[in-house]
Every structure is written in structure tokens, then in C-alpha cells.
């Protein structure tokens, strides 16, 4: 099995085999801006994680490095793999994502953490299957919508696609993990948007979702009162919304986390307290400082300058992945890149936004930075998909011409 179709093509081709031409081909299949940006992000992220978990025996830096290592291997494999082979597997992809999403609901397998059953325990390993469902969701969405070639005008077609895309979203909501469900929803909407769904259907969908949200809130209030049990929207979820609406509502109670998070960020100042001076994390005032609130650790140590540097790196990443979307040889590849970008945009905005009280608090990690190997692997899978889209941006048809 040749490592790259590019090499295969070279063998089959009539051109002279030489090292220089091989090197050129390999280099051409690499998107250097993507490499730079992710390398920088990764180095920055590892530095922050290292400083955050240094004195805490609950975390191991080596685990994070292992995640990166395995991720690199997967990324390399996907780079060589022609993503287009998956274009006809829309339904198998849906089935696999649904399986992963519903796996924690299997009795005896799921582990309930913080009110959501989104972890499974398998042979002593703890995994979040819904994390791995994210790239599958992107692939499924791209395969489903891609075949419309940029125009979904027929309402029946649109709502069929929407309905199918909503299945994994509903699956995640059953866990219930609202944060991850939102990620799935955003990916679905981005793919539909980029895939050329008619504007009126999109607007209708958004209006419908708002209506559904209002209905659910009303129904929840009704059921809670009538049954006297906490149904549908759970108490802690309502509290998060309350805190989002009023950041200072209960500084020692439900808004404690947000308050500590804001203190960490604000105290960073323009240039930060310096490396290793993340007192809010070091002294345990910050909750989940290695995972969900890792941004605060960065912000306190490196200040506004360091925070903006991170945001700039992310914006570069989005820009590069959008150029890859443009460069894709087919709508499937374009939508993969768009879906990956959409997912990252949501993750980054939601995570940083929640640490500052601009978004409600959810357990959405920061790509390439947060501690945790599941999501690290997922990011490398997404990177691998982008690489694959880039590496296979040329097409054989061009040569035929």
C-alpha cells in the first residue's frame, strides 16, 4: 500500500522517477500554513496545560503528549487517505455516529459525570464516544449535503436532510449533554448553509428552533410544577442560564465558577502575571482549570497580549481551513472543511466566551489547548481530514484534460 496516492500516480505515470520530483510532490500535498498554525497552537497549548497541571497529581502531562502522538499518527494516515472514498457512505456514517452517541446510554457502560452520561468505561479506559462522533457527524453531513452540489431549493429535500442531520443531535441531547448537542447542531447548520440550502428554509429552521426552545422551556416549567420532579431542563442547566443572564447573581453559589474565571482573566492585565503565576488555578479557586477553564490559566499568565495571540492563531487556523474549503476538488471536500471550521469556531467562541460570561457555561473544551486526549484525538482527525482534502485537491480529470 503506497503511502500516498500521489506516489501511486507517480509510479503509474510516465515521468522520470527522481528524488527531487518526489520531494516536490510530497511538499505540494502539505498545506504549510495549516502546519504552522497548528504547530504554534499545539506548542502554546501544551505550554499552558503544562503550567496548569504541574502540581496536580490528578493530571499527567505525558497523557496529553500521548494524545498528541497518537493524533499525529492518525493525522498522517488520514493525510494519505483519499477522503473521497467516504463520499458514498453517508448512511453508514450516520449509523456509526448514532451508535457512538447512544453508547453511553447502554446500561452498565455509561458513566454519569456532572449530571450527563457522556462517558463510557471500557476495559478500565474512560472515553467520550460523542467526541469521536463529531468528525463522523461532519463527514456524514458533508456526504449528505454534498450531493446537492451547492443548491438545495426543494423543501422536501431540505427537510429530509435536516431531519437526518438532527438525529445525532437528538441522540446527544438524550445523554443529556447540551454542549455537545450544540456542537452537532452548529456543524449541521454550517454544512447546510455552506452546502447551499435555500435561504428561506434556513431562516424557517432557525425560527422553528427558537419556537421549539420556547415550547420546551414552557413545557419544562409546566411539568416541573405538575410532577414536582426536575424534568427536561435540569436545575443546574437553568442555573447556568441564570448566571449567563446575570453574571453576579450568586457569587458564592451558582456563579462562583464564573466569578473565579473572570477574576483569573481580569487579573492577568495587559501582559499577564508571568509564566507559572496562575494563582487562581494553582490555589484551586478555578474549577476544571486544565480542561474547560484552561483559557483562564493562559489569560492570567500571559494577559491580554497572550490571549489575543491565541485568538489570532485560531483566526489564522479558520482562515487556512476556509482556503482549504475553497481549494477542495469537490463539494464533499469543501463541506468537510467547512464543517471542521464550523466546529472549531463554535468550540473556541463558546469556550472563551463562557469564561468571560458572554456565553452560558458548558463543558466545551478549547481545541488543541484543553487537557484531555479524547478531544485532542478528535482535533487531529479533523486536521487529518483537512490534510486529506488539501492533498487530494487536484483531480485526475484535470490530467485527462
Partner 1 sequence: MNVYLIAAIIGISVFVVVMVVAIVAWFIYGKYKTDPVSGMSFERTGTYDMQDVNRLGRAGNMAPLKGGPDRRGRFYAFGALVAVLFGTLTVKLWTMQVISSDKYSAEATDNMTRDVSTPAFRGRILDRNGVELITNRASIVLTCKKSILETRGLVHRLSLILGIPKGVLRRNIRNDAAGVQADRIIAHDVPMRTVAFIKEHPTLFEGVNIEKRTMRHYPLGNTAAHILGYTGPVTEDQLKSQITWDVVQFERGDVVGKDGAEYAFDRILRGVPGTRTYKVDSSGLPIELINEIEPTSGNDVCLTIDSKLQKETDRILMETIIAARSSDNDNARAGALICLDVKEGGVLAASSYPTFNPADLIGGISSDLWEQLTKKTSNYPLNNRVISGLYPAASTFKAFSSMAGLNFGVIQGDIHHECKGFWDKYGKEWGQRCWIYPGGHGWVGLEEAINHSCDIFFYNVGAEFHKRWYALPDDEKEDVFQDYIRTWGFGQRTGIDLPGEGRGRVPTAAWKHDAFPDTPEESQWQPGDMTNMCIGQGDILVTPLQIANGYATIARREAVKPHIFHKVIDKDGNDVVSHKLEPDETQPEFSDAALNRVIDGLMRVVNREKIFSPIPVDIAGKSGTAEVAGKDPYAWFVAYGPVYDPEYCVACLIEEGGQGSSTAIMGVLHTFAAIYNKKLGAIVARKSESDGER
Q: Least distance to partner 1 from the beta carbon of 50, Å?
A: 5
Q: Does 398 bind partner 1 (CB under 8 A)?
A: yes
Closest CA to 189 of 209, 216, 215, 213: 209
Write the CB contacts of 371 (distance below 8 Å, at least 6 apart in sequence): 49, 52, 53, 59, 64, 290, 291, 294
User: What's the CA gap between 91 and 140, in Å, rounded?
Assistant: 7
β-strand 110-113 against 125-127: which pairing, if any?
A: unpaired
Query: Judged by CB, which is closer to partner 1: 50, or 159?
Result: 50
Write the CB contacts of 285 (distance below 8 Å, at least 6 apart in sequence): 260, 263, 264, 279
Q: Does 56 bind partner 1 (CB under 8 A)?
A: no
Closest CA to 71 of 350, 394, 367, 398: 367
What is the torsional sign of CA 196, 197, 198, 203? negative
Q: Does 47 bind partner 1 (CB under 8 A)?
A: yes
User: What's the CA gap between 296 and 285, in Å, rounded?
Assistant: 11
Total binding residues for partner 1 by CB under 8 A? Answer: 89
Binding mask 93-132 for partner 1 (x = CB under 8 A): ----------------------------------------
Q: Does 89 bind partner 1 (CB under 8 A)?
A: no
Judged by CB under 8 A, the chain residues 150 through 169 that form the site for partner 1 are: 150-151
Please identify, among the stretches 121-129, 162-170, 299-307, 376-384, the one whose residues bind partner 1 according to the rule CB under 8 A.
299-307
Query: Judged by CB, which is closer to partner 1: 118, or 350?
Result: 350
Bridge partner list, 41: none
User: What's the CA gap between 223 and 219, in Å, rounded?
Assistant: 6
Please identify, among the stretches 47-55, 117-125, 214-222, 228-236, the one whose residues bind partner 1 according to the rule CB under 8 A.
47-55
What grid cell was written down for 378? 478528535
Q: Least distance to partner 1 from the beta carbon of 307, Å?
A: 5
Query: Judged by CB, which is closer to partner 1: 225, or 252?
Result: 252
Judged by CB under 8 A, the chain residues 178 through 217 that form the site for partner 1 are: 190, 193-196
Q: Least distance to partner 1 from the beta carbon of 23, Å?
A: 8
Q: Least distance to partner 1 from the beta carbon of 177, Å?
A: 23
Please identify, among the stretches 44-52, 112-120, 209-217, 224-232, the one whose residues bind partner 1 according to the rule CB under 8 A.
44-52
Helix (H) or strand (E) holding 245: helix 235-245
Judged by CB under 8 A, the chain residues 343 through 362 that form the site for partner 1 are: 345, 348-349, 352-353, 356, 358
Selected binder of partner 1 within 303, 339, 367, 384 (CB under 8 A): 303
Query: Judged by CB, which is closer to partner 1: 268, or 372?
Result: 268
Helix (H) or strand (E) holding 127: strand 125-127
User: What's the CA gap between 80 and 355, in Å, rounded?
Assistant: 38
Q: Does 226 bind partner 1 (CB under 8 A)?
A: no
Selected binder of partner 1 within 249, 285, 316, 374 (CB under 8 A): 285
Closest CA to 303 of 265, 263, 354: 265
Q: Does 63 bind partner 1 (CB under 8 A)?
A: no
Query: Judged by CB, which is closer to partner 1: 227, or 401?
Result: 401
Closest CA to 198 of 167, 164, 170, 162: 162
What grid cell was written down for 350? 463558546
Q: Least distance to partner 1 from the beta carbon of 109, Å?
A: 34
Bridge partner list, 110: 120
What grid cell was written down for 369? 489547548
Q: Does 76 bind partner 1 (CB under 8 A)?
A: no
Q: Does 308 bind partner 1 (CB under 8 A)?
A: yes
Query: Judged by CB, which is closer to partner 1: 27, or 226?
Result: 27
Q: Does 264 bind partner 1 (CB under 8 A)?
A: yes
Q: Does 4 bind partner 1 (CB under 8 A)?
A: no
Q: Does 19 bind partner 1 (CB under 8 A)?
A: no
Q: Least distance to partner 1 from the beta carbon of 248, Å?
A: 12
Judged by CB under 8 A, the chain residues 365 through 394 that form the site for partner 1 are: 393-394
Cβ contact 179:362 at 8 Å: yes
What is the torsional sign of CA 285, 291, 296, 299? positive
What grid cell was written down for 306? 497572550
Query: Judged by CB, which is closer to partner 1: 118, or 291?
Result: 291
Amino acid at each position: 500500500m503506497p503511502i500516498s496516492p500521489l506516489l501511486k500516480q507517480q509510479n503509474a505515470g510516465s515521468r522520470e522517477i527522481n528524488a527531487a520530483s518526489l520531494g516536490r510532490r510530497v511538499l505540494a500535498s502539505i498545506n504549510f500554513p495549516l502546519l504552522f498554525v497548528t504547530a504554534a497552537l499545539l506548542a502554546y497549548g501544551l505550554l499552558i496545560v503544562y503550567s496548569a497541571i504541574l502540581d496536580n497529581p490528578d493530571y499527567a502531562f505525558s497523557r496529553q503528549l500521548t494524545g498528541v502522538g497518537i493524533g499525529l499518527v492518525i493525522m498522517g494516515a488520514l493525510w494519505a487517505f483519499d477522503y473521497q472514498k467516504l463520499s458514498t457512505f453517508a448512511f453508514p456514517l450516520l449509523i456509526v455516529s448514532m451508535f457512538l452517541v447512544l453508547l453511553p446510554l447502554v446500561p452498565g457502560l455509561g458513566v454519569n459525570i456532572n449530571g450527563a452520561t457522556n462517558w463510557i468505561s471500557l476495559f478500565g479506559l474512560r472515553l467520550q464516544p460523542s467526541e469521536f462522533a463529531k468528525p463522523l457527524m461532519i463527514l456524514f453531513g458533508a456526504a449528505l449535503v454534498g450531493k446537492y452540489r451547492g443548491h438545495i431549493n426543494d423543501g422536501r429535500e431540505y427537510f429530509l436532510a435536516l431531519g437526518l442531520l438532527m438525529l445525532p443531535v437528538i441522540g446527544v441531547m438524550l445523554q443529556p449533554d447540551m454542549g455537545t448537542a450544540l456542537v452537532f447542531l452548529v456543524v449541521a447548520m454550517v454544512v447546510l448553509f455552506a452546502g447551499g440550502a435555500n435561504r428561506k428554509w434556513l431562516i424557517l429552521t432557525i425560527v422553528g428552533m427558537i419556537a421549539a426552545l420556547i415550547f420546551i422551556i414552557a413545557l419544562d416549567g409546566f411539568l416541573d410544577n405538575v410532577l414536582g420532579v426536575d424534568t427536561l431542563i435540569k436545575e443546574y442547566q437553568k442555573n447556568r442560564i441564570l448566571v449567563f443572564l446575570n453574571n453576579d447573581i450568586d457569587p458564592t453559589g451558582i456563579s462562583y465558577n464564573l466569578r473565579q474565571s473572570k477574576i483569573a482573566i481580569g487579573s492577568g492585565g495587559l501582559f499577564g502575571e508571568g509564566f507559572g503565576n496562575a494563582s487562581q488555578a494553582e490555589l484551586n479557586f478555578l474549577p476544571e482549570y486544565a480542561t474547560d477553564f484552561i483559557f483562564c490559566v493562559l489569560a492570567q499568565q500571559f494577559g491580554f497580549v497572550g490571549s489575543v495571540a491565541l485568538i489570532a492563531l485560531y483566526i489564522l487556523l479558520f482562515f487556512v481551513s476556509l482556503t482549504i474549503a475553497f481549494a477542495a476538488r469537490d463539494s464533499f471536500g469543501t463541506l468537510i472543511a467547512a464543517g471542521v471550521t464550523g466546529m472549531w469556531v463554535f468550540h473556541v467562541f463558546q469556550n472563551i466566551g463562557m469564561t468571560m460570561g458572554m456565553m452560558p457555561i458548558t463543558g466545551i473544551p478549547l481545541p488543541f489547548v484543553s487537557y484531555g486526549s479524547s478531544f485532542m484525538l478528535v482535533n487531529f482527525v479533523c486536521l487529518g481530514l483537512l490534510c486529506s482534502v488539501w492533498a487530494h485537491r487536484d483531480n485526475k480529470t484535470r490530467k485527462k484534460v
